Amino acid sequence: MGVAIIPFSQKIDSNIKIIDPSEALIKKFNEAFIIPKTESYESISYDNVDFFVTSKKDEFSKKIKFWLEINKEISLVNLRSNV
């Protein structure tokens, strides 16, 4: 049962236990995609990362400045072929 809109505590018997699968899902995800702890583990570097967008270059640039706290050049690309 994963619907947050309905207050289940009022709708189901008190003997039924609601299980939140998100904790187990996160644990399995972390086990499957292990990130090795190295010296650079704590400080992620975007030095060797290039950013490309197909539109809204300035809007994307503002977002990475806000979310990643970096100032990188964003390249505008066209994915259409000239066929």
Q: How many domains does the chain have?
A: 1
Tell me whether residue 25 is in a domain.
yes
Tell me whether residue 57 is in a domain.
yes
Contacts of 79 (CB under 8 A, 6+ apart): 54
Tell me whether residue 81 is in a domain.
no
CB contact at 8 A, 77 and 52: yes
pLDDT surpasses 80 at 2 = no
Expressed as residue numbers, the domain containing 36 is 8-76
Q: How do residues 21-77 score in pLDDT, each as one tens digit? A: 777 888 888 788 776 666 555 566 777 888 899 988 999 898 888 888 888 889 998
- DSSP annotation of 13: -
Residue 44's closest CA among 75, 70, 72? 70
pLDDT value, residue 42: 58
Tell me whether residue 48 is in a domain.
yes
Tell me whether residue 3 is in a domain.
no
Q: Please tell me the distance from the alpha carbon of residue 60 to that of residue 62, in angstroms, as a whole number.
A: 5
Q: Please tell me the distance from the alpha carbon of residue 30 to that of residue 14, in angstroms, as a whole number.
A: 33
pLDDT value, residue 17: 76
